[in-house]
Amino acid sequence: MATASHNLSTYDPTSVPSGAGRRFALVVSEWNLEITDALRTGAKETLMKHGVAPEDILETWVPGSFELALGAQILLETETLDGVICLGSVVRGETPHFDFVCQGTAQGIMSVGLKFGRPVIFGVLTDNTMEQARDRSGGKHGNKGVDCAVAVLKMAALKG
């Protein structure tokens, strides 16, 4: 397991560009709310830690992870944004539904970023159990939302 001994929230703050004057959106899935709200908190706090003003962070909720891509696309069509972070949580069940949702979600998020030429960050936990999801959303492996905020700041700076 790639994160077995790795804290997702560990990074060098001096390597992260300032987000001052930039505008970002968080698109968050309502499904598995305990997990996604923790991811949202981690992402938002990290953006603010690196200079993004609270009023420059737009938050939008969508029903599930599959809807994240369309949520990001709608925001990029209607708002002036430097990037979008898509946050969700899909926990494996007993049917192939997990595979379809994860594959479609990943493909959709990537497509939106390429279509708009803006960073659209994949912050969807795809875990086998709720315990694993908790471990990656503020538990023993840190908070993937933090990692996503760092990624969007770096990619926005790369974009210029």
What length does the chain have? 160
Tokens of 156: 């926005």
Residue 97 annotated in active site:
yes
Tokens of 54: 């609270």
- The C-alpha R_g of the chain, in whole angstroms, comes to 15
Tokens of 19: 């987000």
Cβ atoms of residues 30 and 61 within 8 Å? yes
In the chain, the DSSP E strands lie at 24-29, 57-62, 83-91, 120-127, 137-139, 142-143
Tokens of 17: 């560009």
d(CA 51, CA 47) in angstroms, rounded, equals 7
Q: Which of 6, 50, 97, 141 is catalytic?
A: 97
- Hey, which residues are catalytic here? 97
